[in-house]
Structures are given as C-alpha cells and as structure tokens.
Amino acid sequence: MKTIPIILLIALSLLSCNKKVNKLLETHYQIDCQIFDFQFKAIKNFPGDYCTFLSNGEWISMTGPVIDLHSKTNQLRWHFPQTGFGEIKLSEDETKIIFLSTELRDYQGKKIRFDTVNLTDRNGVPLATWSLFEQLSSITQKIKRDANLLMADIGKIESIYEIPANALESKYSFLKKGNFLITLPSFGVVVIDSTFKKIEYIFELNRFGLREGQILSSGQLIIFTNDNAEEYDLAQNKLLRTLQFKIPSEEGSPSSGPVQLIFNNGYIVVTNTNAGGSFFELNHNGEVVKKFKNTLLDSRTKKSNSIYLAKKLNLAKFLENNF
C-alpha cells in the first residue's frame, strides 16, 4: 500500500481549507442596481433605484415604492402587490424577501409616519408583518426614556437584519440564528423571533444618527451610526470599542444608506453631497482603501447621481445564471 508524504497531505489540507474560505469571499461591488468588478469596470446595469440579486440569476428591483421580481432572462416575472422603501433583503436561504413599508397613522392627535417590516415568499405572498405602530406600546413599557419626548422619529425603522450563526446563540436564546434585529432610531435595537410574533430582547440606545445593528460571528453587537461603528457586549450591556470612519470632511458624512461589514473586517460606506454620491471601502481601522464616484449622471444637473446602496458581495453565481 502506497503512503502519501506528510507534506503533500498538509498541502492538500490547506488547499481544501482555502477553497472553503474562498466561497465566502466577495467578487464584485454593487452600487444601487449596477455591478462592477474591483477595478470599477461596469459589468451590468439594471433598471431600478435599488436591486437585490439572487444566486439563481433572478433579481428584485425597487423603483420608487414599486417592487418587481425579474427572471434570469431579465423579464418581469412578478409585480409585488405591496409597496416598499429602502433596501430589499433576502433570507439566508433566499426563500424569503424582507422589506420595509410605511404609512401615516393617528398617534396622540397627529398623523405620524409608522414603518412596518414585511416578510414574503419569493413571489411577494405575505408570510408575516411586524408593525412598529402595533408594537409601540410593548416597546415603550420596556424602555427607560419617555416615549412622548421621541415624537420626531418615533415611528421610523432604520433597518432589518437577519441574525447569522454566532458563538453566543446557544447561551442566549435571543441571539438564535434566524431571529431578526430591527434598528429603531428612537429606541435602539429590538430582536424579534423568526416568525415576527415575539419581541425577544430590547437593547436601548440613545445615539444620534443610529443607522443599523448587526450581530458578529462572535455574538457581539455592532452598531453603525453616521460616522462610526460601536461594538457592544449585549449580555453585559457594555461598550467594547468605538471605531471612527476616517473619511475626509470634504467628502461629506456617511449619513445615507446601509453600512456593510465585509469579509476582511473592513467596511463599505456611502456619502452624498451636492456634487453627487460616492462610496468608500475602509479597512478594519476605518481608513479609506478605495473610493468610487458614481459614474451615472443626473440628466438635468449633469452631476453624479446620489448613491443609496453600495455593497461588496459574492455575485459569481448570479452572473453565471443571469443572461
């Protein structure tokens, strides 16, 4: 029986590990509905204000409040009966779609904007909703601040995020994979269960410019504000560190669109000024590594268009299956 030299075994093992890791690596930039390679060469440009791309080659667009599902051959496949705003997200297994909608509700004698999280199947068939208006009483009973002082943004939902597998989910049930993290500018972060029926946890935060909360693989909470990232130990209610985004002041504050934590512990952030939109890739110290100025021009002003959504993603499967 032949034996394989130990050095060859180690090499094969490392190769196997590298293949496993490379599956997770990002392959392209997405800017609203455009796809670019890492040299900022345009690969594809789809109609819509914001888009979400599926691994089977299908894609979802939001144009104004209108949401459409398109086939892998770029034909309209389904027009959602609901309207929405902001980013459209997919569940990890891509079987469900998550998006925000809004409406005016009567609250304390005034018409106030209140947002709702919608969970649908791939064709927009409703599976569950989580209405901030309906949950407001439950939330205000559990927080320390007087909700009457929070009228400006009391009905606003900034973002929704599906909790991934993490090191603390077996210890703390609210950190279970598949639960959702909802960021509320007036209150902080609320964790709800996967069925949208139960509030599992409320982490109260009084932060100006609160934009999005995410759970790291360590189980810690990372909060993005307009110009920094803050990492918290939820169990101990303790701030672990603050990272300032080192973007030149003339580029404006990254106060629009979601912030993305990317594979190498860097960040993707967006800025918009009177001169148009830009996105920045930052390293783990918050320093600028790359900058991209939107190449699409406003037909009226001839200036660079604003950017809402910029991400660094693995879009290899989408591009392979989209024709």
The reported pLDDT for the residue numbered 13 is 35
The reported pLDDT for the residue numbered 145 is 67
Question: Using an 8 Å Cβ cutoff, are 68 and 53 in contact?
Answer: no
82-94: pLDDT as tens digits: 889 888 999 999 9
Residue ranges of the chain with pLDDT lower than 50?
Answer: 1-23
Rounded Cα distance, 135 and 22, in Å:
41
The reported pLDDT for the residue numbered 23 is 42
The reported pLDDT for the residue numbered 146 is 64
The reported pLDDT for the residue numbered 256 is 59
| Structural domains in the chain plus CATH codes | 84-244 (2.130.10.10)
The reported pLDDT for the residue numbered 19 is 34
The reported pLDDT for the residue numbered 257 is 62
Question: Using an 8 Å Cβ cutoff, are 245 and 267 in contact?
Answer: yes
The reported pLDDT for the residue numbered 5 is 44
pTM: 0.84
283-293: pLDDT as tens digits: 988 899 998 88
The reported pLDDT for the residue numbered 295 is 78
